[in-house]
Amino acid sequence: MKPSIYALTLPACLLQIAGASQPGATQSNAWPARPLVWGDINFLFTTDTHGWLMGHTKSRPPEPNYSADFGDFLSFVTHMKEIAQEKGVDLLLVDSGDLHDGTGLTDGSPTGQPNAHEACSNKFITRLPYDVLATGNHELYKYSSALDTRQNFVPHWNGRYLTSNVNVTLYQQPDMGISAPLGARYRKFTTLQGKHVTAFGVLFHFTWNAPGTIVQSVEDLVEQVWFREAIADPPDLFLLAGHMPVHLEEDPDVNVNDWPIVYYAIRQVHPTTPIFIFGGHSHKRNCTVMDEHAIAVQGGRYMETVGWLSANLTEDGGYSRRYLDTNRNTYQYHTRLREESFDTAAGLKLTNDIAELANKWNLHDVFGYAPQDWYLDRVDYPDKQSIMTLFLDEVLPTVMRLGAPERSHIPLLAIFNRGSIRYDIYHGAFTRNDQYTVLPFKNDFFYATVPWAVGKRVVDGANKKREDEAQLRNARRIMMPSLRHTQGQESDAVVMQKVFSGPEEQLTLGYVTQDLCDGYADDTIHLDIGGMDRADDYMSSPPPELDDDDLIDVIFPSFVAQPIVDVLNKLFPGQNYSIPTLPIYCGIQSDQVFEVYARHMWN
Ligand SMILES: *[C@@H]1O[C@H](CO)[C@@H](O)[C@H](O)[C@H]1NC(C)=O
Ligand SMILES: *[C@@H]1O[C@H](CO)[C@@H](O)[C@H](O)[C@H]1NC(C)=O
Ligand SMILES: *[C@@H]1O[C@H](CO)[C@@H](O)[C@H](O)[C@H]1NC(C)=O
Ligand SMILES: *[C@@H]1O[C@H](CO)[C@@H](O)[C@H](O)[C@H]1NC(C)=O
Ligand SMILES: *[C@@H]1O[C@H](CO)[C@@H](O)[C@H](O)[C@H]1NC(C)=O
Ligand SMILES: [Zn+2]
Ligand SMILES: [Zn+2]
């Protein structure tokens, strides 16, 4: 390989830090099954990284398969951009949002600075050469984070951070707010190889955003004069990054897929201009071919997946997509580099700086030792290995009782929305960082003391309300066209046998993706880890045996206070609950409950 113009490759003798990845990370022993297929335009894409810049450091399967950190990723991207240049083709790097919320690096600041301030704004993500980024809903739950994004993250990107339908209100004076796009609305640029690109960054019609942030519906977006003008001239390709899934979910309530609206708006003007869509939000790998010249892909969550998409922009050009497991084997295999020549100086520095911040914030402090694994979506409540079972049956009631001993004479029902529980717990040391990967959100616990006749109907009432609202929203949904390539398509099993020639026992646990595009997409062939689609429904601690007249404390986190209050007021006429007057149950907040539990029960 030619000497790099992008980065210096250090000789092995200078590698002082642990061969990269974070200290203590267990490396993968799995390898990709076959090389990538390049085109004249190529993309690497990430989405929903949620602060997993350290990568996955646990030794339990399949965590080692995702053990590369952002420093490793930076080295990989740097080499891949060089390879593209040698081949005389383009490689663009795209992110589809949700950088915030999810690990100690985003949520564990001891000084209470805005979420993800260090990880995003100041330090880490800005070192990656992203060509286009879009915003996610998690960047907008708090005004302070949105403002921090606008003031400290957006300027770095020089027009590459795209928020086509998201504004933020900026205050010069307390009562003089000016609405302005959070990032840039669109980007027109020319690639190194001279292709003209028009790019947008779109967020689904998110409605739980903080006051002071504005999310315009996608229907309204495509009617804007500036949007019509921006798509008027035909580029060589449209690049649509955005925080909405590229596929329909089984349970569509959480995930609003408005891609078809943008797609049709462009197709009306440009029937055959190539459109590349990069989705997000549902935390799943998927792919849909929309027409002969348009494809939509999505790459999963938590830095488990780096997506690959390539195409030839020729008359009979093909495409190829792949979901790469994020480990150093994957990165070295596809860059044809050995361990001793893979790391770039910038990559190693990023690894080092991430490790330093993790230490500074005590993210490796051990709260206790988990006696077993609990899984987020391999099994469901009330399975003994489900994290929901641990949380609802054990953690929540135990910690609420510990936090409010003065209320121990009244039975309790603790309600929580499932979507706020974010990850597995693995057997062994449970650290401060693990606390944030399981439950990163900081909420107070409110309560209302009601007769059991009311209390026992709150969870069902809240779920009914959620479903009714989803139905209303979905009534207007436009379906994604999906061109299934069935002609001559081989079954997944046949393709899998072709790309993996070893005995089945050698397969490792991981994702086996069934998307709607041609051929077999997983880069490393795995035994299926399974997993279910989870709706963000309301669940509760086990209901006590009570008479209808007995009083109970119904406890719920502030995040879902409004829907719960609405349901309480409906079920309990004559009462008039409102959030400002709700009492707080205990001094413990939601991002502390696992710590309190681990300290008490796992030592
Ligand atoms: C991938 O995960 C499987 C288990 O999942 C593990 O056996 C295998 O060693 C992993 N590849 C790894 C882990 O390096
Ligand atoms: C966003 O800000 C721009 C510029 O100030 C303004 O013209 C536009 O109306 C705003 N959009 C929304 C949806 O508030
Ligand atoms: C991909 O999307 C299709 C269509 O919505 C769905 O049937 C399939 O289960 C999805 N695959 C994954 C891995 O989520
Ligand atoms: C693009 O064309 C080249 C040359 O014909 C071919 O080798 C490659 O496989 C094509 N790439 C894709 C993604 O179809
Ligand atoms: C309920 O309380 C709110 C404010 O807390 C008040 O504005 C409203 O008038 C009250 N409604 C009834 C029916 O008492
Ligand atoms: Zn997400
Ligand atoms: Zn999201």
Q: Is the pLDDT of residue 484 over 60?
A: no
> Which DSSP string corresponds to 497-546?
HHH--S-GGG-EEE-----SSSS--BSS-EEE---------EEESPPP--
Q: Indicate which residue's Cα is closest to atom 2 of ligand 1.
A: 62
> For residue 252, what are the contacts with CB-CB under 8 A and spacing of at least 6?
470, 474, 477
What pLDDT score does 376 carry?
Answer: 94
Ligand 2 midpoint to CA 177 (Å) = 12
Instruction: Tell me how far apart the alpha carbons of residues 145 and 141 are, in angstroms, rounded to a whole number.
Output: 8
Residue 517 or residue 488, greater confidence: 517
* Ligand index nearest the alpha carbon of residue 578: 5
Q: What is the CA radius of gyration of the chain?
A: 24
Rounded to the nearest angstrom, the gap between the alpha carbon of residue 218 and the centroid of all alpha carbons in its chain is 21
Name the residue among 186, 179, 253 with its Cα closest to residue 224: 186
Count Cβ atoms within 10 A of the Cβ of residue 290 and give its class: 0-12 exposed, 13-18 middle, 19 or more buried: buried
Instruction: Tell me how far apart the alpha carbons of residues 221 and 559 are, in angstroms, rounded to a whole number.
Output: 28
Instruction: Tell me how far apart the alpha carbons of residues 38 and 320 are, in angstroms, rounded to a whole number.
Output: 8
Dump strand ranges (E) for 418-520: 428-431, 445-451, 508-510
| Residue 103: CA count within 13 A, CB half-sphere | 25
Which residues partner with 173 through β-bridges? 176
pLDDT by residue (tens digit) across 57-108? 999 999 999 999 999 999 999 999 999 999 999 999 999 999 999 999 999 9
The CATH code of the domain at 2-358+486-528 is 3.60.21.10
Ligand 6 midpoint to CA 496 (Å) = 29
Q: How is the beta sheet containing 551-557 ordered, strand by strand?
A: 445-451, 551-557, 412-417, 538-540
* Ligand index nearest the alpha carbon of residue 573: 5
The first and second tokens of residue 479, run together, are 């379906």
The first and second tokens of residue 43, run together, are 């993309």
What pLDDT score does 476 carry?
Answer: 67
Ligand 4 midpoint to CA 322 (Å) = 15
- 3-state SS record for 391-409: HHHHHHHHHHHHHCHHHCC
Residue 507 or residue 446, greater confidence: 446
pLDDT band at 280 (very low <50, low <70, confident <90, very high): very high
Q: Is the pLDDT of residue 494 over 80?
A: no
Q: Where are the domains of the chain?
A: 2-358+486-528, 365-456+543-601
CA torsion angle for 229, 230, 233, 235 (degrees, to 10)? -170
Closest atom, ligand 4, to C-alpha of 320: 13
What pLDDT score does 525 carry?
Answer: 82
Name the residue among 306, 226, 293, 396 with its Cα closest to residue 47: 306
* Ligand index nearest the alpha carbon of residue 50: 6
Ligand 2 midpoint to CA 181 (Å) = 6
Q: Indicate which residue's Cα is closest to atom 4 of ligand 4.
A: 39
User: Is 365-456+543-601 a domain of CATH 3.90.780.10?
Assistant: yes
Contact in structure between 132 and 92 (CB atoms under 8 Å): yes
What pLDDT score does 500 carry?
Answer: 56
| Residue 508: CA count within 13 A, CB half-sphere | 18
Which residues partner with 239 through β-bridges? 199, 276
What pLDDT score does 497 carry?
Answer: 56
Instruction: Give the chain's mean pLDDT.
Output: 90
